[in-house]
Amino acid sequence: MKAQVNGITIAYNDQGTGLPIVFLHAFPLNRTMWAAQENALSSQFRIVTIDLRGHGESDAPLWHYTLDQSADDVRTLLDHLAIQQALFVGLSMGGYILFAFYRIFADRVKGLILADTRAQADTAEGKQGRFQMAQTAYKKGPSAIADVMVPKLLSPMRIQTEPGLVRQVRAMIEGNQISGIAGDLMAMAERPDSVPLLSRITCPTQIIVGELDQATPPSDSKLMAEQIPHTRLAIIPNAAHLSNLEQPEAFNQIVSAFALNLEK
């Protein structure tokens, strides 16, 4: 489905009834990374997955991107869908957007699931890396970005043994436009430090991380778990950064248990 949001087209899926659960994807992927969650959970809950600005079937305008803008796109889409409050799941960049969303629209958040993400801002070196990656995207195209990103997103074992999963992740990356990839990199480089926000998050929160995640390692999740007041931490064995794709059953089970508890 598609909606006009803040002057651009945003693509999304909206399936099932019950507690709305809104899923925000990682960089530089799209809403299809949540297919296993959508299939397993839409019989119990209302599952909304969104192609964020710059990704998948949504528009990727050539302009300045910010995570606050993406948060406002999500809020505007929820208004369009008449969803007042939801449980939000954000993985990696999706989690960064949830910090922006919570800062601006905390009253719309019934609960948060922060998966394979971190609260700290980029270091100076990290920002420089974003700049270099944007130049790679500009000069060589999205397939060069897939070459760089796949080893950061999936565990070495999956890359060796699951060519279908690697193809799926590459296809998501290669389906993006350069304007969206560069826009995200700019937005992530400029994002503020969310560590001071953590102690002010008052809704129930679940943190999930793959034990093999190197992009946002379990130490980043432990830092969030120590500072967010009402939170639990789940470490998924044998999963790297895209823990929802590498271990969908374990991931779904954590989301479902947390959502059922939230409904009580």
Which residues contact ligand MLT by CB under 6 A? Answer: 26-27, 92-93, 188, 215, 241
Minimal distance, residue 24 CB to ligand MLT, in Å? 10
Nearer to ligand MLT, 81 or 186 (CB): 186
Cβ closer to ligand MLT: 146 or 188? 188
Residue nearest to ligand MLT (CB): 92
11 vs 24, beta carbon nearer ligand MLT: 24
Residue with smaller CB distance to ligand MLT, 82 or 123: 123
Cβ atoms 195, 102 nearer than 8 A? no
Is 57 in contact with 51 (CB distance < 8 Å)? yes
For the record, the structure tokens of 51 come out as 């192609």
**16: which DSSP letter?**
-
Whole-number minimum distance, CB 185 to ligand MLT, in Å?
A: 8
Shortest separation between residue 149's beta carbon and ligand MLT, angstroms: 7
CB of 55 to ligand MLT, least distance (A): 11
Q: In this structure, are residues 203 and 229 in contact, taking their beta carbons and an 8 Å threshold?
A: no
Greatest C-alpha distance within the chain: 52
Amino acid (one-letter) located at 151: P
Name which of 53 and 241 has its Cβ closer to ligand MLT: 241
Q: How would you list the strands of the sheet with 205-210, edge to edge?
A: 2-5, 8-15, 46-50, 20-24, 86-91, 109-115, 205-210, 231-236
Q: What would the DSSP string read from start to end of 45-105? A: SEEEEE--TTSTTS---SS---HHHHHHHHHHHHHHTT--SEEEEEETHHHHHHHHHHHHH
CB of 199 to ligand MLT, least distance (A): 22
Smallest separation, CB 217 to ligand MLT (Å) = 12
Q: Which is nearer to ligand MLT, 74 or 215 (CB)?
A: 215
